[in-house]
């Protein structure tokens, strides 16, 4: 069984902002189940939705994504 890798950080940012999935679902006019699936990384929001979420949460859209770049050793 493969473990799924997180792609987005929506759940983390919601927690940092002290907001809930239900609150976000209302703000983006989406079903709570859809937002829940985004937060668990079972499904990913469209790029347009991601931009809207970033605006609503007042964060840079990059804060909603897990970095794919590995840190380099600065020797």
Note whether residue 25 is domain-resident. yes
Note whether residue 1 is domain-resident. no
Note whether residue 75 is domain-resident. no
Structure confidence at residue 44 (pLDDT): 97
Q: Kindly report the CATH number assigned to the domain that includes residue 55.
A: 1.10.260.40
Q: How far apart are CA 10 and CA 54, in angstroms?
A: 9
Note whether residue 34 is domain-resident. yes
Note whether residue 72 is domain-resident. no
Note whether residue 33 is domain-resident. yes
What confidence tens digit (pLDDT) does each residue in 20-62 have?
Answer: 999 999 999 999 999 999 999 999 999 999 999 999 999 999 9
Q: Work out the pLDDT band at 65, boundaries 50, 70, 90.
A: very high
Structure confidence at residue 68 (pLDDT): 85
Higher-pLDDT residue of 47, 1 = 47
Residue 72 pLDDT more than 90?
no
53 burial level (CB within 10 Å; 0-12, 13-18, 19+): buried
Total tally of structural domains belonging to the chain: 1
Note whether residue 56 is domain-resident. yes
């Amino acid at each position: 069984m493969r473990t799924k890798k997180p792609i987005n950080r929506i759940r983390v940012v919601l927690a940092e902002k002290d907001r809930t999935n239900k609150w976000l679902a209302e703000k983006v006019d989406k079903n709570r189940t859809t937002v829940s699936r985004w937060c668990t990384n079972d499904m990913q929001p469209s790029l347009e939705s991601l931009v809207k979420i970033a605006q609503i949460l007042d964060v840079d859209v990059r804060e909603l994504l897990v970095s794919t770049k590995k840190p380099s050793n600065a020797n």
